[in-house]
Structure 1
């Protein structure tokens, strides 16, 4: 159990006095819980071996105490504030021509986020996987980055650490290039029931994978690890920001079907014991 006198895991200088740090950005990780004031409720699923552990009921996305200092928490808030527009408003931006939607095959389109702050979105994704890796929350016990990779993400993030948006943007402008680890982002073109999604952190390695409510994220150490089927739709350079848009059925089949099947099996087995 970490204490407020422990050192911040990001800057490794200041005391980690911040409480209730969100591991996932709140703006992409709470819709599945339902609207505020409606008895928000969900489950976290920490691995493919769901039957071994009873899913934990949650009413907010995962938070942890004493992993960050106030400065580093503010820095992550800057990254989230800049990036949120892309994730929340991509449909509107396609409609107004800021982003380009390309049809690939049946049930798969790709959005080119032309006007997005692409470097910041890379750093945001790095921060999500780094936070998951350093977290002691049970949801993330099966997603641990290789130690050298975790450190590379940390030092990259620290290059641009600033508590204020303008200072951060000035730092990024003065040093616009950093090491790119390929990423893939997925979502669905619609959700009939937005509370039917989940937070799912399966065991994964090259790529590391996370399902965060309406978005799926993959992080690769090198482009050589990318399977051919998605190679053209991943982000591999500083100028890339693509989002794969699945049909609602493909999203369910790819990300939700297996966890739901295991949850249903668990419910039946528990019922038999009553």
Structure 2
């Protein structure tokens, strides 16, 4: 049996690990008409599925539990993010040039960074064909692994107690986008790939996560909208029109590419 890809100490005994957490793909299966999604293949072929991809024997049970702690916390927070208009005391809205930013007051930025970086890292080390085009440089992948391995905990209380002690967070820009209005008539898809030379993007039904591997070539505006800093969580609001255009472009990319997507 192979060693766990996170701790590299214990055997990778865990089966059915979601690379992208299930709650980020859940809306794909929540139609009032049916509870399934289409897996799109090269040339537009498709098949019906009822769950997002899972993989076996990547992690040990202990490390899988560490990811579960992050996911449980953020799954709850996503509910409030999607309902931010009705929870005005929990958020601030600011304008940064053409970007409208949502700033949650009730999400710990280090917790959010751990969750997001774990998402980028897991997608990069995945063996699924769905994420084959999302592969971080080896040195960055290992840097993220070491950061996560040192700081993730198997118990929520223990992680919360250690958050203030976490130092030397990876020095990379990453941005998160969400639609300004939740429109369940158009829920988009689920895929991940390298979208430009130094940008790696994960598309989900509720959020888009984008990792920038080269700090030196980043747009100066990135310093104002990204989560490189550790002081607050920043989410860029996208108009529904732009969100639909983005989702449609992603779907076309998947159909015309020799890879699979949801």
The answer to whether the 8 A contact 2:117-2:144 is kept is yes
In the superposition, the TM-score normalised over structure 1's length comes to 0.82
Match of 2:6 among 6, 10, 14: 10
Aligned: 1:99 with 2:91 = yes
On the 8 A contact 2:36/2:50 being kept in 1, the answer is: yes
Out of 172, 178, 193, the residue aligned to residue 181 of structure 1 is: 172
1:69 aligns with one of 60, 75, 78: 60
2-side partners of 1:130 and 1:104: how far apart?
29
* SS of 2:190 mapped into structure 1: strand
Aligned to 1:239: 231
Deviation at 1:85, TM superposition (A): 3.1
Asked whether the 8 Å contact 2:82–2:182 carries over to 1, the reply is: no
Say whether residues 1:38 and 2:38 are aligned partners. no
Query: Structure 2-normalised TM-score?
Result: 0.86
Q: Is this contact kept in 2: 1:188–1:247, CA < 8 A? A: yes
2:198 and 2:105 mapped to 1: Cα distance?
Answer: 27
What is the DSSP-based 3-state SS (H/G/I as helix, E as strand, rest coil) of the residue aligned with 1:61?
coil
Structure exhibiting the larger radius of gyration computed from Cα positions: 1
Q: How many residues align?
A: 255
CA distance in 2, matches of 1:262, 1:207: 16
C-alpha RMSD of the superposition: 2.7
Return the alpha-carbon distance in structure 2 between the equivalents of residues 244 and 195 of structure 1: 19
Q: Using the alignment, how far apart are the partners of 1:16 and 1:263 within structure 2?
A: 31
Gaps of 5+ in 2: 258-262
Range moving further from structure 2, 14-23 or 159-168: 159-168
User: Equivalences for 1:50-89 in 2 at 5 Å?
Assistant: 50-51=42-43, 54-55=45-46, 57-89=48-80
Mapped contact 1:41–1:59 kept (Cα < 8 A) = yes
Shift of 1:109: 2.3
- Residue 100 of structure 2: SS of its match in structure 1? strand
SS at match of 1:111: strand
Counterpart of 2:161 in structure 1 is 170
- Alpha-carbon distance between aligned partners in 2 of 1:227 and 1:72, rounded to the nearest angstrom: 35
- Contact 2:132–2:193 (CA<8 Å) still a contact in 1? no
